[in-house]
Amino acid sequence: MHGAERVAGLVVCYAVLVNAADNSCEAVDEIVIATGSWREGAEAMRAAGYRHVPRRPARREVPGEAIDAALMSPGLVLRTRFGSGEPWKPRVPGRGTG
């Protein structure tokens, strides 16, 4: 699941990706970032340690809470455990979900 929406002059990039830093098969994170383009967002997700980031966004609506979080901190990769309801927090490259 992934998608992008243009909001307030930025592209909010959203994806559900496997967290490679956590060796659990259930380590799936929701990732969001507000940048100038999907390409910039995808590069930032890869730099944060996520793999298999799609090259192009799907035509999928980005959840409202993800948009709100991304617009509060443009350029910062934010994550939350998929389906957990936890608040969005910055992704620290090379670290697990803690």
| Domain spans, the chain | 2-90
Residue 49: per-residue pLDDT: 86
Q: Scan for tokens 């910039």, then name that residue.
A: 40
Of 25-29, 31-35, 37-41, least confident by mean pLDDT is: 25-29
71 neighbors 89 (Cβ within 8 angstroms)? no
The percentage of residues in the chain with a pLDDT greater than 70, rounded to a whole number, is 86
User: Which tops the pLDDT comparison, 53 or 93?
Assistant: 53
CA 15 to each of CA 55, 85: distance values in angstroms, whole numbers, following the listed order: 11, 16
Tell whether the model's pLDDT for residue 19 goes beyond 90. no
In this prediction the pTM is 0.84
Is residue 21 very low, low, confident or very high in pLDDT (cuts 50, 70, 90)?
A: low
